Structure 1
């Protein structure tokens, strides 16, 4: 679902009623516990938590004008999604999350390389997401990101 919202508050206000509470809870949790240095806003028509240009002026390699993305949250047609770039870039973090998930949810993990999909709004593992937020610093993310870029050149 594409949003034209310019702020996280606008995004949340435009959601269907059944999505407002879980997205608001996720947004507030991420803002409270995201790695120091990230900023919250909008990116790619989703809630975005990114490395600002003041910390990483190069921005995102695909489109240098936006800041370096780290986490996004979106209300999709059939689920709520969290996109965590660190899960995609660091295998140990991905493996940790996959191992921990069943300890926090009664439903099977529905996940891509960085996308965690929640079809059951009442079974979002907020405590696990909070723990995930503390697993990677902004500097570690930049270091991993740059190392991957160097491999592609």
Structure 2
């Protein structure tokens, strides 16, 4: 479900109380563990964490003009809460680590596709694991990964 909210707080205010609390806790987890240099905003109708153009002027090249380089998004979808982590999609070592760690932190089977981790039961979100995941990629590392992919 795409939101028209222009701030993360507006986004949270649109959610049901149950979803609000889970997404807020997920947001807090990301903010507490994400290395310096990523900026929180709204992107693609979701809460977004990205490399700002002030740090990486080349930006993301999905349109005519560069935009901040996306990294993590949080969304409340119709049937689940989603965490989109682009590092999982582009770094096989990180994906392997996450897949190995997930069963140690959750009773549920990992439900993901490419960069999207889906949590259908909000009581089973492994916030500690998400925090560890968020701290594993620094801004400069993410820029290098992005640049290595766009040069192909």
Q: TM-score normalised by the shorter chain: which range applies?
A: over 0.9
Q: Please list every run of at least 4 consecutive aligned residues from structure 1 whose deviation after the TM superposition is greater than 3 angstroms.
A: none
Higher relative contact order (CA 8 A, sep 6+): 2
Paired residue for 2:80? Answer: 79
Paired residue for 1:13? Answer: 13
Give TM-score scaled by structure 2 length: 0.97
Paired residue for 1:40? Answer: 40
Paired residue for 1:140? Answer: 141
- Alignment coverage as a number of residue pairs: 151
**Structure 1: stretches of 5+ with no match in the other structure:** none
- Superposed CA deviations along residues 65-88 of structure 1, whole A, max 9, x for unmatched, are 420000000000000000001000
Q: CA RMSD in A?
A: 0.8
Distance in 1 between residues matched to 2:107 and 2:36, nearest whole Å = 31
Shift of the alpha carbon at 1:30? Answer: 1.0
Paired residue for 1:62? Answer: 62
8 Å CA contact retained: 2:38, 2:51: yes
**Structure 2: stretches of 5+ with no match in the other structure:** none
Distance in 1 between residues matched to 2:138 and 2:69, nearest whole Å = 14
Distance in 1 between residues matched to 2:135 and 2:16, nearest whole Å = 30
Secondary structure of residue in 2 paired with 1:59: coil
Secondary structure of residue in 1 paired with 2:151: helix
Paired residue for 2:132? Answer: 131
